[in-house]
Amino acid sequence: MSIETQLEGLAGGIPHGLGEGVALGTGLAEGYDFYDSALGQVIVTFNPEGVSSLDIADGFEDRYKERFGRPLIRAEAPKAWSRHIQESIERGSPGDLPVDLRSVTEFQRRVLHTTAGIPKGEVRPYGWVAFEIASPKAVRAVGSAVAKNPIPLIIPCHRVVRSDGHIGNYSLGGPHNKVELLLAEGAQPDLLEELAAHNVRVRADVSTETYHHPSCHLVRSATNVLDLRSAGAAEARGLRACPLCRPHS
């Protein structure tokens, strides 16, 4: 049975006699369509508020029913959004694309807003996200919020790694998909794993006397690099934190 045939059953919750256009326009049902990604074809759902979810096609029906349970109708996204959806998937950032995060809590929205700002080809640990949202002790809660991201790829939770620097798990198909995405973005996941195994948390550019997150593009291009176990160790050497990647955790 094709995924399109399976999803036809999810439109059954629309009130009798209500047209599909009205159901979509009023938000009583969500539209969905297929888009290309580095992981293959994905399904994106949307409503008048914006894009509400993204998932891989395999097993989508059950996961959507369990989490959202709203009727679905195959439809094209609004013309103003259609191009932005594909671009946002490829860029790994919402940009001007409206997103609907009503399915998550206010804390989770803060986490996801910060996650959306992580540059392509770079990663940040859970502790960094917690610090950025002024909740430095909420590292575990940050991990939970990232795992519940309803719009992966567009909000790039694959760019958030464990606080010990290891790549960690990934809700969109598992850790191998996370590695594939980071490889495609040039984030060097094998190097990041090696550095994490040696307890390297920051890397210093000796020539500029600055220290950085290991994936920061500024230190990746440096020729004289010093590996250190903490931001504190870097500060003790008189090094300054990179103002772009802000390696406070």
Greatest alpha-carbon span in the chain: 72
SS3 181: helix
245 is catalytic: no
CB 188 within 8 A of CB 201: no
Catalytic residue among 157, 216, 242, 245: 157
How far from chain centre, in Å, is Cα 190? 20
CB 60 within 8 A of CB 4: no
CB 235 within 8 A of CB 229: no
| Residue positions annotated with a catalytic role | 157
